[in-house]
Amino acid sequence: MNNFEKAFVISDIHGEVTRLTNLMQNWNVDEMLLIIVGDLIDRGENSLKVVQKMMDLKAEFGDQVIILKGNHEDMLLKYLSEPLINNNALRYFRNGGDTTAIEFSGDSNIMEASYEEIARKMGTRRAEVDFLQGLSLYYEFGDVLFIHAGIDPALEDWRKTNPYQMVWIRNIWNQENKTDKIIVFGHTPTQELYEDKRNEIWISPCRSYINIDGGSVYGGQLNGMVINNSGEILHTYKAI
């Protein structure tokens, strides 16, 4: 249990390790939690380095660092577990997994191999895979709920949301928020929510949803913010 009242929050890094490093300079380790809202991997500069950086931070700071699972971690883990089942391989590699496969395997030609062989070589990164396997789906911080994609708004108890929906659901911001939490999420780039296609942090008109995915890997920006446990945004940052 921690006693911090503020958190520094980032989401949807997608391997953009340089932007992450720049953004992390705004984290005050003496005053704040660090919360990463999923999608560490795929598509960007170097997903392996991002995962290893998160592992190092978790090892050094323990419960002060909270790292959540996103849909890209979900896709990777399902692929590694059952590469030939349910189109797991096709789905993963259609969504940017090729860059992660190259980095995890250390083989620039790995995509010429079979899906089973790619999974085997990626799986030799046992520490990194185990780390991703152990990520939580959500984190409650006072009046704030951090989750990669969202919750099932039809449920009386949002905690019973299917784990798949927690990392994959879309359009929760169009549903009434019946929880007692401000929901901070990523997963959908904010430019899809702004009429003028901005990449800035988005706050719903009801002020109970906050989306921080700046679409960094799609030519946008990596957003960060400091939020307190009452849901008040104190500062915002971006790395471009």
Tens digits of residue pLDDT in 75-86: 999 999 999 999
* Residue 1: predicted pLDDT: 53
Tens digits of residue pLDDT in 126-167: 999 999 999 999 999 999 999 999 999 999 999 999 999 999
Nearest-angstrom CA–CA distance, 122 and 81? 11
Nearest-angstrom CA–CA distance, 60 and 85? 37
Q: 3-class SS at 227? A: strand
Evaluate whether the domain defined by 6-70+135-239 bears CATH number 3.60.21.10: yes
Tens digits of residue pLDDT in 22-37: 999 999 999 999 999 9
Where do the structural domains in the chain lie, given as residue ranges?
A: 6-70+135-239, 75-130
* Residue 2: predicted pLDDT: 73
Contacts of 78 (CB under 8 A, 6+ apart): 86, 88, 92
